[in-house]
Amino acid sequence: MYQKDKKYLTLISKFVKSVISTYRMWIMLLLLTYTVSSIQAQTMARPREGDGVSTFLARYGVNTKEGRRAFIRMNKKKLTAKGGLILGRSYCIPTPQEAGLKTTTSQNKTNKANSSITEPLFGKNHEKVSIKSQKLKGACFYLVSGHGGPDPGAIGRAGKHELHEDEYAYDIILRLGKCLLEQGANVHFIIQDEKDGIRDEKYLKGSKRETCMGAPIPLNQTERLQQRCDAVNRLYRKDTKGYRRAIFIHVDSRNRTDRVDVFFYHCTGSRLGRRLAERIRDTFAAKYDVHQPGRGFDGNVSARDLYVLRKTDPPAVFLELGNIQNARDRQRLVLRSNRQALAEWICNGIIKDYQKGN
């Protein structure tokens, strides 16, 4: 009897050890999977010559107080004794969440026609967006208004009022974004102002609050342009399918006697960028025939080697909406109805291009 009990105890012991061993193996596999996925999600990058931590992080849109703390914590052993960067070394870049950023993106993947979404960037009077159709279902847009933050861009005057390019470009880009959302698109607003939504005043007050998706906008022009290009490209790499386009909106500054129509640039060699620019231009020409018969429309499409067109990955179009120094062109900007018309006409041109496919 004793021998039989001993045999059973031995079998039970082996079974328990086998269960414990299997359990440990699964725990290790789960931990390994979690570690690998965490590593894959973390962006690694090397600094350029002359980069400090702030400049380096600004390039990736995470140069915030929280972002710098997270960067130092993650890369403590890779920094110099004074906390500097070393050329040739790869550093972990904090995610926007780790940098405490609000990455506002209006997405309409599950909304159907006749439903609605809320976009706080539009302001309290405009934040409710009714989805009118699915004409742009699956399309994704990266909307970038020119200048912002420490740089107001071109400055014009109307009586005692000073007009800043960045304020009018931002208002029109918001209106365009709302039009695109109404047609079922997904929209990323690269330049953001948490206070200034869509505004109906003629003379828009200037500010320096604008950010690049929550990150401060650098004063240096190249860093400023690269920051917004990097933001577009990061989002573009995540949005791997469907019709994807970047839209840049600016206001020109010329001699006050020069009256110009809206004109359009695309990157040299970009077939899809050129096609989009031509569709929007043709839409404007048709609208002018209806609303200003006999006037004609002289806006043109051309290739231009602009920094943001060269450095952004998705097909892109760059719009100049008029001469801020010209009194007649300024009516295109200061009148709320005209700003809305610009946004709607751009949207209509985009829909026509979308119907042509990727």
Domain boundaries defined on the chain? 1-41, 43-101, 105-354
| Residue that wins the pLDDT comparison between 264 and 21 | 264
**Residue 296 clears pLDDT 80, i.e. is over it:** yes
More confident residue, 241 or 218: 218
On whether the CB atoms of residues 319 and 251 are closer than 8 A, the answer is no
Residue 107 predicted with pLDDT over 60: no
More confident residue, 290 or 49: 290
Confidence of residue 54 (pLDDT cuts 50, 70, 90): confident
Which pLDDT score is estimated for 131? 95
Q: Which class would CATH give 105-354? A: alpha beta
Q: Is the dihedral of CA 260, 261, 262, 265 positive or negative?
A: negative
Query: What pLDDT was estimated at residue 43?
Result: 79
- Phi, psi for residue 20 in degrees, rounded to 5: -60, -40
Rounded Cα gap, residues 209 and 217, in angstroms: 9
> Is residue 187 very low, low, confident or very high in pLDDT (cuts 50, 70, 90)?
very high
Share of the chain above pLDDT 90, in %: 67
| pLDDT confidence band for 356 (50 / 70 / 90) | confident
Residue 316 reports pLDDT greater than 70: yes
What is the reported pLDDT for 8? 58
Q: Are 315 and 273 in contact (CB under 8 A)?
A: yes
The helix-helix angle for 336-354 and 165-182 (nearest 10°) equals 50
Q: Are strands 105-106 and 186-189 parallel, antiparallel or unpaired?
A: antiparallel
- 105 φ/ψ sector (left φ>0, alpha ψ -120 to 50, else beta): beta
pLDDT for the residue 34: 44
Q: What is the pLDDT of residues 325-344, one digit of tens each?
A: 999 999 999 999 999 999 99
**Packing angle of the helix pair 336-354, 327-334 (nearest 10 deg):** 80
Q: What is the pTM of this model?
A: 0.73
Indicate the burial class of 74 (C-beta count within 10 angstroms; 0-12, 13-18, 19 or more). Answer: middle
- Whether 91 and 59 have beta carbons less than 8 Å apart is answered as no
Q: Looking at residue 126, what DSSP letter applies? A: T
pLDDT tier for residue 64 given thresholds of 50, 70 and 90:
confident
Q: What DSSP element (H or E) covers 321?
A: strand 316-323
Q: pLDDT-derived band of residue 306, with 50, 70 and 90 as boundaries? A: very high
Higher pLDDT, 218 or 239: 218
* Residue 257, CA atoms < 13 Å, CB-side half-sphere: 0
Asked whether residue 32 carries a pLDDT value surpassing 90, the answer given is no
Nearest one of 97, 177, 124, 206 to 340, comparing CA atoms: 177
For the cut 90, the answer to whether the pLDDT of residue 61 exceeds it is no
Least confident of 27-31, 166-170, 179-183, 225-229: 27-31
What's the pLDDT score for residue 39?
40
pLDDT at 154: 96
3-state helix, strand, coil in the chain (%, to 5): 45, 20, 40
Q: Enumerate the β-bridge partners of residue 155.
A: 164
Reported confidence tier of residue 100, pLDDT bands at 50, 70, 90: confident
Could you write out the three-class secondary structure of 69-121? Answer: HHHHHHHHHHCCCCCCCCCCCCEEECCCCCCCCCCCEECCCCCCCCCEEECHH
37: pLDDT strictly greater than 50: no
Q: Is the dihedral of CA 163, 168, 171, 175 positive or negative?
A: positive
pLDDT range class, residue 108, cuts 50, 70, 90: very low
